[in-house]
Amino acid sequence: MNENGDRSRFLSKLNAHFANFSYADGFVRTARDAELFDELSKFVDVVTSSDHVHLKRWFRHVATFPRNEKPTLKMTWQEGGDVPLSEYLLAHIDSNGSFESIDFAEDQSIDHQKVIGAIKSLLTHEGLINSEDYVVTRISLTDEGSALSENGSHEYLVYAAIPTDGLEQPALMKQPFAKVGFGKAMKNGWIEKKGNVIMRKAADVKDTVRDDLLAIKSGRFEDVNPASKTDLQKRKLIAEAKIKGVKVSKGPGFTMQLEKPEVELTAEMLQDKSWATKNFKAYNFNALGQSLSGGHLHPLMKVRSEFREIFLQMGFTEMDTSRYVESSFWNFDALFQPQQHPARDAHDTFFIKTPEVSQEFPPEYLEKVKKVHSEGGHGSIGYRYDWSIDEAKKNVMRTHTTAVSARQLYKLANDGFKPSKFFSIDRVFRNETLDATHLAEFHQIEGVIAERNLSLAHAMGLFKSFFSKMGLDELRFKSAYNPYTEPSMEIFAYHKGLKKWIEIGNSGMFRPEMLLPMGLPEDVNVVGFGLSLERLDKD
């Protein structure tokens, strides 16, 4: 710039630049301003005597700054730019020593949650920064409060709507602001009622509500007295919100050079001992962690839950099935199943070694069961054999949940009969030969309905309603034999996928030889039905 031509072109270029440069309002002198000022000061007479108006204004303004003042750079962050927000925060801390997240977010027009996220990212570097939580209470106008700050309070609008000669009350009350404002204007002594006409009482009024709202809106909270603030809150014109922020300052290990911490200790680090010089990310024990792939319901348990829901929807009550070990009396004898029945031998039933036998039975009921087995009764000749108490005492792993139903029906008879519906879904055990379709343990679904004058037709209708909730609309019934039901039926359903009829359950009317010894009334009939959960789940 030693030549006049080059200098003139340079000054013209600067003048054009400063013509559109807002250097006077909110100006912060930068290092470049100081450098340029020092350079132009070498020929200050040329600058001040030139016609470059904008350049001279800038020069005179920068000259007002102390020469030893450290120039500062007002930083701004652009989302999506090259600098991550976490690094931008580090630069801000380096320049200012500390900052508060709420004020920083407002000053920089950055979403506060993004600032908090960046702070949390920096906190993963041990000792880099210090943080301290704080809470601020912010007051803001509600939507109604904003409207009143622009248009005036309800009571003021009521006062303003009344002409000097008054206004009839019905006409005034048609105004949208009158419902709230009329009473408050009367209370303030601004208006009065003369007959059916509302008159102005005060010569002039001041809308303090609007003034307070405008003060709060502009941040002049000190101009609003506590009583007015309380009133505005009651009228829901303002709202308080507590905002959690973080105060951040330099930590003992503060640095501008961020090294990404290791998150895992690998076998290679152990072998070459590089772990000793690595910076590992601290554990966050408050984090939720990754969702586990395990712990989900077994498909069988999902189907079990669906069946349980169907029973409950139909008004059934769930029975207690917690007794896996059962006496032969309740598992077989109470169901009018003879002691010579093949199902009661060791080839089909698991017998318990310890304790081998049960000792406690209802004595009166025990005698009735013994009699109906050996002598008959209730229209039956029985099985005509010597019934053995020793056989009845033997403990077994229950072979069906009907043993649970027998206990429940006996309790129902002794508590005083009332129409009831019960269900159970639980494990039963059979000494089966194991193969692809037979296990020693499976789940049995059982339903029991006890009602006066219940018929087989009622039972068939209930079965159709029950199975239709599972999507099985086509049912067939086939006669069968069970020791404790008569008549008995096997239930078949048409499987649309397999395109064939499949057996889905067994059912029947419990025999009088089973029910009457319990003490149930003679006109009470009981329908029972059972099915395998595994079979239905598989199908």
pLDDT band at 72 (very low <50, low <70, confident <90, very high): very low
Q: How far apart are CA 55 and CA 17, in angstroms?
A: 8
CATH of the domain at 441: 3.30.930.10
Is 87's pLDDT higher than 90? no
pLDDT number for residue 365: 92
Scan for tokens 């494990």, then name that residue. Answer: 427
Nearest Cα neighbor of 528 from 335, 340, 275, 276 is: 335
pLDDT tier at 539 (50, 70, 90 boundaries)? Answer: low
pLDDT range class, residue 109, cuts 50, 70, 90: confident
Q: Which of 3-12, 152-161, 278-287 has the lowest mean pLDDT?
A: 3-12
Mean pLDDT of 524-531: 91
Q: Put the strands of the sheet holding 475-482 in their side by side order.
A: 317-318, 420-429, 441-452, 524-532, 500-510, 485-495, 475-482
Q: Which helix (H) or strand (E) holds 155?
A: helix 154-161
Strand 191-194 with 197-200, pairing: antiparallel
Residue 23 has pLDDT above 60, yes or no: no
- What's the confidence (pLDDT) of residue 83? 72
Condensed to tens digits (0 to 9), the pLDDT of residues 139-151 reads 888 899 889 989 9
Please state the domain count of the chain: 2
Residue 525 is predicted with a pLDDT of 93
- Vertex 169: Cα angle to 168 and 172 (nearest 5): 95
Average pLDDT for 480-496: 89
Is residue 405, in this structure, part of any structural domain at all? Answer: yes
Q: What is the rounded distance in angstroms from the CA atom of residue 395 to the CA atom of residue 330? A: 10
CA angle at 535 for the pair 531 and 538, rounded to the nearest 5°: 150
**With contact defined as beta carbons under 8 Å apart, do 373 and 333 qualify?**
yes
Of these ranges, 47-56, 80-89, 327-336, 434-443, the one predicted with the greatest mean pLDDT is: 327-336
473 located within any domain: yes
Band the pLDDT of 5: cuts 50, 70, 90.
Answer: low
> Over the stretch 323-356, which tens digit does the pLDDT of each residue have?
999 999 999 999 998 888 887 776 688 999 999 9
How many percent of the chain have pLDDT more than 90? 31
Looking at residue 24, its pLDDT comes to 43
pLDDT of 410 reads: 94
Phi, psi of 451 (to 5 degrees): -155, 155
Bridge-based pairing state of the strands 238-250 and 129-141 = antiparallel
**Which pLDDT value is given to residue 73?**
41
State the maximum Cα–Cα separation within the chain, in Å, rounded to a whole number: 138
Segment among 32-36, 209-213, 300-304, 450-454 with least mean pLDDT: 32-36
Domain assignment present for residue 521? The answer is yes
Position 472 scores a pLDDT of 86
More confident residue, 50 or 495: 495
Give the best-scoring range by mean pLDDT among 23-27, 257-261, 392-396, 469-473: 392-396
Q: Does 220 have pLDDT greater than 90?
A: no
Which pLDDT belongs to residue 373? 92
The mean pLDDT value for 478-492 works out to 90
Percent of the chain with pLDDT over 70: 91
| Helical (H) or strand (E) element with 59 | helix 53-62
Q: Which of 62, 84, 101 is the last residue of a domain?
A: 62
Worst-scoring range by mean pLDDT, 79-83, 206-210, 369-373, 473-477?
79-83
Mean pLDDT throughout 388-409? 92
Residue 412 burial (CB count, 10 A): 21
Is residue 226 situated within a structural domain?
A: no
116, part of any domain: no
- pLDDT reported for residue 439: 81
pTM here is 0.48
Contacts of residue 155, Cβ cutoff 8 Å, sequence gap at least 6: 180, 181, 184, 185, 188, 190, 209
Q: Phi-psi category of 165—alpha, beta or left, where left has phi over 0 and alpha has psi -120 to 50?
A: alpha
Separation CA 332–CA 316 (nearest Å): 25
What pLDDT, on the 0 to 100 scale, is given for residue 242? 87
Residue 217: inside a domain? no
In a domain, 55, yes or no: yes
Domain boundary among 62, 77, 108: 62
CA distance linking residue 311 with residue 314, whole number of Å: 5
Lowest mean pLDDT among 295-299, 407-411, 476-480: 295-299
Of 31-45, 172-186, 353-367, the range with the lowest mean pLDDT is: 31-45
- In this predicted structure, what is the pLDDT of residue 22? 54
Residue 287 lies in a domain: no
The pLDDT of residue 346: 64
Range of the domain at 13: 4-62
